[in-house]
Amino acid sequence: MALNDPNPWWQYAAVYQVYVRSFADSDGDGVGDLPGITARLPYLRDLGVDALWITPFYTSPQHDHGYDVADYCDVDPLFGELADADRLIARAHEHGLRVIVDVVPNHTSNEHAWFQAALAAAPGSPERARYLFRDGRGEHGELPPNNWASVFGGPAWTRVPDGQWYLHLFDTTQPDLDWRNPEVGDLLEGALRFWLDRGVDGFRIDVAHGLLKEESLRDQVLPEQDAAEEEHSMVERVGDDEPMWDQPEVHDVYRRWHRVLADYEGDRMAVAEAWTRTAESMARYVRPDELQQSFNFAWLLAEWSADQFHDVVRGTLDALTPVDAAPTWVLSNHDVVRHVTRYGGGERGLARARAATLAMLALPGSAYLYQGEELGLEEVDVAEEHWQDPAALRMGRAGRDGCRVPLPWGGSEAPYGFGPGEGQPWIPQPDDWATVTVAAQAERDDSTLAFYREALRCRREHAVPAGPDVDLADVDGEVLSFTRGALQVVLNCGDSPVGLPAGTEVLVASGPVEGDKLPGDTAVWLRGA
Ligand code: TEU
């Protein structure tokens, strides 16, 4: 798709998520970096995606691997320098690829100059008022100001030496900003403009639903049994009462950001990472005067089931039609178990993952792909001594390291072409990855990489031109099917083969299809012959 295409590119883009630390390492230190990405841009162009979203590469002590930003307007030396970011943006544009960067507005790093100043200042000072400092409860203020838990486990409050507490919905090294303080909005607008001036095409907004908290910072009403004490994954919710998420005032922030983006030439955009509870609350982030997109995590939370997939597609389209926004679809990202593994792992998990991906790529709107899914990578069982994810360390059980293992590009042993160094990168790679490397898969027509290339090519040819309409059929047994103009899509979530409609030609299939039967765990795109 040419960069000067008249339609807003983001309405039908395939976006590839680059997790910077694990994509490609140019200097051999075992951690991916910006020049590493730049060198691999031809790979992304040939894969057939339209854009890349790059996770945070800003100055950061890396306690949450970049989601703890100490300076929004500079590059961490681990990843390169500002000139490397400029080169990456320019080269990407030369290849016809758009660039989305992350913005992390909910919290800063504890090493941000503002937080350091807040710690040095007294309670009640303007420096503290940029964050959520409060006195504690209890006779001597020895108890946290409320009962909120951190998403990463444990209390959401940490006490400082003078006795006050500060709020952190994530790690203690990620203090939450107070978005009711106008200085905060100005700081983040400055960051947006800094990167827009450098040519980025858009932003992925981290924890977009978290910026404003209920002003009283009241206790969360928890279910009978104290669910905060129970084991829960990062994406599960505790109870129905959420004074910390999705407050109405957050939409004022996005109305402002809409105006900032509109100040710039070209189709600049922003996509919210908002883990909303319903498709309707997701839709509020993409009202015409707010953001262009919001991640739709419904599919990622659904089980392998034609009924559930049907409800996800129907619910998403129904919620977005009234606000006239393009949907987004996502099956994997750097926070969740890879979808091959979620669908059972092994050959079966891979067949299902490919089938779900093919169905997703046929839908209108944008599809977000996570690095390594085009290789069919599974979640890696990372040994405890190698855990790096702050959520894993706080909760004492496997976290997100398993989907963040550095990519295998070629060769037969670690680091599998990830970088020029020898030995293992920052998270060790498994010793059986020789057959899943990019180089190994590029040789084979039946590889998952070859399948993604073909599916993305077909998406441009048949799905993108089909416009916004989807004709979704009722689920038949374990079969999901829909049409988009001349394009027919059938996904068989069952175990037994089902007949394909007579007089159709297979355009692309997620696995082997013989004759007029569609095997279980397989999807196809068809058109009338
Ligand atoms: O993740 C947000 C996150 O943790 C979600 O689980 C969500 O906030 C939660 O379900 C509450 O609704 C983002 C990044 O993707 C992640 O990598 C970071 O660790 C995190 O923010 C903190 O910046």
Tens-level pLDDT at each residue, the chain (529 residues): 445 555 899 999 999 999 999 999 999 999 999 999 999 999 999 999 999 999 999 999 999 999 999 999 999 999 999 999 999 999 999 999 999 999 999 999 999 999 999 999 999 999 999 999 999 999 999 999 999 999 999 999 999 999 999 999 999 999 999 999 999 999 999 999 999 999 999 999 999 999 999 999 999 999 876 555 556 666 667 778 999 999 999 999 999 999 999 999 999 999 999 999 888 899 999 999 999 999 999 999 999 999 999 999 999 999 998 898 999 999 999 999 999 999 999 999 999 999 999 999 999 999 999 999 999 999 999 999 999 999 999 999 999 999 999 999 999 999 999 999 899 999 999 999 999 999 999 999 999 999 999 999 999 999 999 989 999 999 999 999 999 999 999 999 999 999 999 999 999 999 999 889 999 999 999 998 7
User: What is the atom index within ligand 1 of the atom nearest the CA of 400?
Assistant: 17
CB 114 within 8 A of CB 127: yes
Name which residue sits closest to atom 9 of ligand 1, judged by CA: 235
User: What is the atom index within ligand 1 of the atom nearest the CA of 107?
Assistant: 23
Distances (CA, A) of 325 to 280, 321, 361: 12, 7, 18
Q: Which of 64, 84, 206, 374 is catalytic?
A: 206
Name which residue sits closest to atom 18 of ligand 1, judged by CA: 67
**Which helix or strand (DSSP H or E) is residue 489 part of?**
strand 487-492
Q: Cα–Cα–Cα angle for 233, 236, 238, nearest 5°?
A: 115
What is the Cα–Cα distance from 208 to 474, expressed in whole angstroms? 34
Q: Show the ligand 1 pocket: residues with CB < 6 angstroms.
A: 64, 67, 104, 151, 170, 206-207, 234-235, 245, 273, 275, 334-335
State the distance from the centre of ligand 1 to the C-alpha of 68, rounded, in angstroms: 12
Please tell me the pTM assigned to this model.
0.97
State the distance from the centre of ligand 1 to the C-alpha of 222, rounded, in angstroms: 20
The strand pair at 51-54 and 471-472 is best described as unpaired
User: What is the atom index within ligand 1 of the atom nearest the CA of 210?
Assistant: 8
Q: Which of 67, 294, 337 best tests ligand 1's pocket when mutated (most atoms within 8 Å of CB)?
A: 67
Q: Which of 335, 400, 403 best tests ligand 1's pocket when mutated (most atoms within 8 Å of CB)?
A: 335
State the distance from the centre of ligand 1 to the C-alpha of 443, rounded, in angstroms: 37
State the distance from the centre of ligand 1 to the C-alpha of 207, rounded, in angstroms: 6
User: What is the atom index within ligand 1 of the atom nearest the CA of 275?
Assistant: 12
CB 242 within 8 A of CB 227: no
What is the Cα–Cα distance from 63 to 6, expressed in whole angstroms? 41
Name which residue sits closest to atom 16 of ligand 1, judged by CA: 335
Is 206 labeled as catalytic in the residue annotation? yes
User: What is the atom index within ligand 1 of the atom nearest the CA of 245?
Assistant: 12
What is the Cα–Cα distance from 19 to 54, expressed in whole angstroms? 6
The 10 Å CB-count burial string (b at 16+, else e) for 130-139 is bbbbbebeee
Is 446 labeled as catalytic in the residue annotation? no
